[in-house]
Chains A and B, each alone.
Chain A
Amino acid sequence: AQSVTQLDSQVPVFEEAPVELRCNYSSSVSVYLFWYVQYPNQGLQLLLKYLSGSTLVKGINGFEAEFNKSQTSFHLRKPSVHISDTAEYFCALYSGGYNKLIFGAGTRLAVHP
């Protein structure tokens, strides 16, 4: 079965500090991985995606993620966060067999001044 596990439900961090949001996945077939951001009471916005090719993926707002097949991980990173990065972040896996995205439970990033 395919699944996505986000290892931290909440991550507090100070402004201008680096951050890593962790995501592990389980899949027996080729994977396509995504990170979405959700600001309070809004829909989701795509940050970045890995479909194939380079394992280091750069996205919007200065975020990047690295696909690691041996560790079945797709961690999201940003070298210096801003207050405006406070939001919930979702890792997702595309299941081709079922034509759907499988989402993790989310990580709430709280950036403090």
Chain B
Amino acid sequence: DGGITQSPKYLFRKEGQNVTLSCEQNLNHDAMYWYRQDPGQGLRLIYYSQIVNDFQKGDIAEGYSVSREKKESFPLTVTSAQKNPTAFYLCASSMGLAAYNEQFFGPGTRLTVL
């Protein structure tokens, strides 16, 4: 079955700690994305990557970092510099960046800072 997996499903972090969220896809997609979802605010783009070893900041990149060493993987690190990291994080992928390429979403990771 082709799709996107995110792990873990739930993640708890103490203030001041960095934490990494995993995103893997086996759809052979070039483009991958990270979104943050907060209640009543829709989804906001954190980072996106068009191709391996390349990524671009989205609207709310501060306090986050990513890497794209493999086509299948696009991990997101939430650093201690992110002031309010508690949120639902969604990873997505698509064939390319153009509008006609549907974005497929993973099931999400819910991060809670204690």
Determine the interface band of chain B, counting residues with CB < 8 A from chain A: 20 to 34
A43/B107 in contact, CB under 8 A: yes
Residue from the set A96, A100, A106 with the largest chain B CB neighbour count within 10 Å: A100
A61 at interface (Cβ–Cβ under 8 A)? no
Please determine whether B90 and A99 come into contact, CB atoms closer than 8 angstroms.
no
Answer whether A41 and B48 are a contact pair too, CB < 8 Å, given A94-B99, A99-B97, A103-B42.
no
B residues within 8 A CB of A106? 40, 42
B45 part of interface (Cβ distance < 8 Å): yes
A83 interface residue (CB < 8 Å to B): no
For the complex, is A32 an interface residue (Cβ under 8 Å from B)? yes
Query: CA–CA, A56 to B110, complex, Å?
Result: 36
Report yes or no: A44 in contact with B45, Cβ–Cβ below 8 A: no
* Interface pair A103/B108, CB less than 8 Å apart: no
Cα(A75)–Cα(B106), bound, Å? 26
Chain A residues positioned under 8 Å from B90 (CB to CB):
43-44
- A51 lies within 8 A of chain B by Cβ: yes
Bound CA span A43–B90, Å: 7
Question: A99 to B48, Cβ gap below 8 A?
Answer: yes
Give chain A's interface residues, CB within 8 Å of chain B: 4, 9, 32, 36, 41-46, 49, 51, 90, 94, 96, 99-101, 103-106
Closest 7 CB pairs of A and B: A43-B105, A103-B42, A32-B99, A94-B99, A44-B105, A99-B97, A103-B43
13 residue pairs bridging A and B, Cβ less than 8 Å apart? A36-B105, A41-B108, A43-B106, A44-B43, A44-B103, A44-B105, A90-B43, A96-B98, A100-B45, A101-B45, A103-B42, A104-B42, A105-B41
